[in-house]
Structure 1
Amino acid sequence: MSSTTARIAVAYHSGYGHTAKQAQAVARGAAAVSNVEAGLEVEARLVPLDELTDDVWAELDAADAIVFGAPTYMGSPSAVFKTFAEASAKVWADDLGWRDKIAAGFTNSKAMSGDKLNSLVDFTMLAAQHGMIWVGLDLYPGWSSSTASIEDLNRLGSWLGAMAQSDSDLSAEQAPPATDLRTAEALGARVATVTLRHLRGATAPRVESDAA
């Protein structure tokens, strides 16, 4: 039986540690998809973006999937993430070096909304410019009826990516809440599953288009 290994890179910035917990949950969810008996393995690696070293770019280049993550500050991703996004232009200029990699995203803010969707849209556009394949969240919205609970998965009702909310007076040891971290795990598991399927189909020959 042939073996398939999916390499998932969680490329993130965290200002105060809350988004780092989200990143860890994404990686944890991805790694849990491994099934050695079935020949399916997942290597999930955390890639902090605070310093854009050669090792960071090499890790992302070797990945089959990249999950982008950053806190939402003033309605958009953090400046550190934006610096990374702009620096990735050198990968884009090198014949779309991340073409056909799987992509996904997650973000955190102190407000329930906080315009987090705008950050996820930024991640999606970054992935699109790199020719990547976006994977969203496939969870029914939680906390959306009179009998629902704040403990529901996807309590913030996001599908483009995973959202989390962290009260501004709570440390990273206390927030985001467990339900948001479980939602991040679900995103990681979905990314890993889709990536494994993608890799198993990657043996098919690429069809080159004559379109200009």
Structure 2
Amino acid sequence: MPDIVVVYHSGYGHTQRMAQAVADGAGAELLPIDAEGHLPEGGWERLAAADAIIFGSPTYMGSVSWQFKKFADASSKAWYAQAWKDKVAAGFTNSAGMNGDKLATLQTLFTLAMQHGMIWVSQGLMPSNTKAALRNDVNYLGAYSGAMAQSPADAGAQDMLPGDLETARLFGQRVAQVTARFRQA
């Protein structure tokens, strides 16, 4: 089984809940970025040992949280050593707005992965975009670059839609399958 780590920041619990769903699908370990933008002890070593790293951040003001950005900037030591080169990478985000500029956040995560020479995995799910589609359907937001979820600003993490969480779980599962294929090569 591939060794996968989900490294994420969550401000209000929604992204943490999404990270758990991604990790459940991928059989991955969670590695939270704290409120000061730091990893727990041994976090950098854990990322260096992983076959795949899945990045997660809420979308705040059209990009990643400052805590995630601090982590990304601190990854320059791994970048300099090319420690993550050829690892599988993917990303996910959540915001209050239906659009909320989540794609900009995914592009930031993608760019971080490309800077590190990583191999990006897409969502791999068809969108739920017919007249019969319901907001709780899998990939209702129609994301391709990574997993997206939407949580109303006045809703707690416990109120996240099962369809968004299932989208995240399936995304994690896809990352694990792709990572397993790369390990066999």
TM range (shorter): over 0.9
Identify which of 165, 178, 181 aligns with 1:181. 165
1:94-113 alignment runs, 5 A limit: 94=81, 96-113=82-99
Displacement after TM superposition at 1:52 (Å): 2.6
Q: C-alpha separation between the residues in 1 aligned to 2:165 and 2:174?
A: 14
Note if 1:47 corresponds to 2:47: no
Displacement after TM superposition at 1:164 (Å): 0.3
Note if 1:163 corresponds to 2:159: no
1:32-111 alignment runs, 5 A limit: 44-50=28-34, 51-94=38-81, 96-111=82-97
Q: C-alpha separation between the residues in 2 aligned to 1:152 and 1:173?
A: 18
Q: C-alpha separation between the residues in 2 aligned to 1:90 and 1:7?
A: 21
Note if 1:199 corresponds to 2:163: no
Give deviations 1:89-137, integer Å, cap 9, x for gaps: 010011x110000000000000000000000000000000100000001
Q: C-alpha separation between the residues in 1 aligned to 2:72 and 2:10?
A: 15
> In the alignment, is the contact (CA less than 8 A) between 1:18 and 1:171 conserved in 2?
yes
Note if 1:15 corresponds to 2:1: no
Note if 1:6 corresponds to 2:2: yes
Match of 1:206 in 2: none
TM-score by length of 2: 0.96
Give deviations 1:3-38, integer Å, cap 9, x for gaps: xx301100000000000000000011112xxxxxxx
Match of 1:139 in 2: 125
- Secondary structure of the 2:152 match is coil
Tell me the amino acid that sits aligned with residue 28 of structure 1. D
> In the alignment, is the contact (CA less than 8 A) between 2:133 and 2:140 conserved in 1?
no
Q: C-alpha separation between the residues in 2 aligned to 1:163 and 1:52?
A: 23
Tell me the amino acid that sits aligned with residue 99 of structure 1. K
In structure 1, the gaps of 5 or more residues are 32-43, 202-212
Q: C-alpha separation between the residues in 1 aligned to 2:41 and 2:154?
A: 36
Moved more, 108-117 or 150-159: 150-159
Q: C-alpha separation between the residues in 2 aligned to 1:188 and 1:10?
A: 9
Q: How many residues align?
A: 182
Runs (4+) off by over 6 Å: none
> In the alignment, is the contact (CA less than 8 A) between 1:69 and 1:105 conserved in 2?
yes
In structure 2, the gaps of 5 or more residues are none
> In the alignment, is the contact (CA less than 8 A) between 1:49 and 1:56 conserved in 2?
no
Determine which structure has more spread, i.e. the larger CA radius of gyration: 1
Displacement after TM superposition at 1:170 (Å): 1.1
Tell me the amino acid that sits aligned with residue 148 of structure 2. M
TM-score by length of 1: 0.84
Percent identity, please.
53
> In the alignment, is the contact (CA less than 8 A) between 1:26 and 1:184 conserved in 2?
yes
Tell me the amino acid that sits aligned with residue 44 of structure 2. W
Q: C-alpha separation between the residues in 2 aligned to 1:53 and 1:93?
A: 21
